[in-house]
Amino acid sequence: MNQITHTDLPNVLRDADGRRITNAAEWGRHRRQLLSLIEIEYGALPPTPPATTGVELHRHAMGRLGNACHIQYRLATGPNGTFTFLLDVLAPASEGATESAHPVVLTGDGCWGFVADDIAAEVLRRGYALAQFIRTEIVPDVYHTHDQRNAGLYAVYPDGDYGALAAWAWGYHRCIDFLTTLPYVDATRIVVTGHSRGGKAALVAGATDERIALTAPNNSGCGGAGCFRIQGAGSETLKDIVTRFPYWFSRRLASYIGRENDLPLDQHFVKALVAPRALLSTEALSDLWANPSGTFQTHLAAREVYRLLGNEARIGIWYREGGHEQGLADWRALLDFADWHLLGKAPARRFDIDPFAEPRA
Ligand code: GTR
């Protein structure tokens, strides 16, 4: 790894004129500027539509998940409610899906298959509802769609420079529009997660929507919780990602290939936009492409903002052995962090261990 560390990254607590941000009120103003700044990377999110509604498609007790209540909705949103996509929800059965409000974990990774039963069972057992959508219904994960502007949401909102990550983040937001109208959802305890490219999208969603109580990207790497300037051995670079996946980003990002140090931000800016709300990145030590060591540096840099706001514990990072996946161990870490920060339960593990410096517990 190169020698630079988080203290060499652009200072997220200095404004465009170099003035230091010293309190929460200044941070609030500065945050609005940072929201514009990250558009260099992702483009501006598509517009917020006037309404998002949902029609129930079916509801049944899911026997293999302890009679959890399984409900599918078709959401309608966009300018005239003409843009539709599927939202799949599992709610804990014990208290009756329409009677008590549950925290909810939302993922957009349904395009990779809905989560395995052992994970769904764990989410439900802890009292959370699980909501899943298929982010590729928002815009496809296909090369050139960004330029052609003729598929999915691009056809609805052809203007603007947003790429797939911003469009997918918009998808999370539309699900939240609807979820927060449901009597069995606790609108103050919304968690967003996603894996890899889905983790990047979940991070952008959490950075840009204060309704989200906990943002939890998993193995999100380059363009997510990773770092452009500080790269561990074998990690994905700006050039790698923009060459293979230009359509995930704003067109402006490509101009920084080879001159990453000129980027007016790095990924701790995106993380810091989540503050003071809870943020957990779950990482894997052998997932070198996702830059686990550089991700620790963005964690440290973003933590400065949480420290300023007086709630340093609300930004967490957790590493496991192994490679690129969002498995049960990652979900358990997410749920432990959620139990702590959303439900006030004392944590059974630490979320601040530097695996590159300290022996792991
Ligand atoms: C890789 C890409 C990563 C990551 C991953 C995934 O090919 O380079 O940035 O997003 O795909 O989404 O699984």
pLDDT in tens, 319-329: 999 999 999 99
Ligand 1 pocket mutation, candidates 220, 248, 289, 326, criterion most atoms within 8 A of CB: 289
The pLDDT score that the predictor gives to residue 2 is 47
Which residue ranges form the domains of the chain, and what is each CATH number? 6-46+101-144+161-343 (3.40.50.1820)
> Does the CB atom of residue 222 touch ligand 1 within 6 A?
yes
pLDDT digits (tens, 9 = 90+) for 86-132: 999 999 985 444 568 999 999 999 999 999 999 999 999 999 999 99
What's the mean pLDDT when you consider all of the chain?
95
In tens, the pLDDT along 44-65 reads: 999 999 999 999 999 999 999 9
Q: Which atom of ligand 1 is nearest to the CA of 324?
A: 13
- On whether the CB atoms of residues 218 and 323 are closer than 8 A, the answer is no
Q: Does ligand 1 come within 6 angstroms of the Cβ of 241?
A: yes
Condensed to tens digits (0 to 9), the pLDDT of residues 25-36 reads 999 999 999 999
Closest residue by Cα to atom 8, ligand 1, is 241
Give the active site residues: 196, 324
Distance of alpha carbon 126 from alpha carbon 239, whole angstroms: 41
| Cis previous bond, 276, omega within 30 | yes
pLDDT in tens, 286-333: 999 999 999 999 999 999 999 999 999 999 999 999 999 999 999 999
Cα dihedral sign, 304-301-32-201: negative
Buried-state track 233-251, b at ≥16 Cβ within 10 A, e below 16: eebbebeebbeebbbbbbe
pTM value is: 0.97
CA distances to 82, 88, 170, 245, 331 from 202, rounded to whole Å, are 24, 17, 10, 17, 15
Residue range 254-275: average pLDDT? Answer: 97
Average pLDDT over residues 13-35: 96
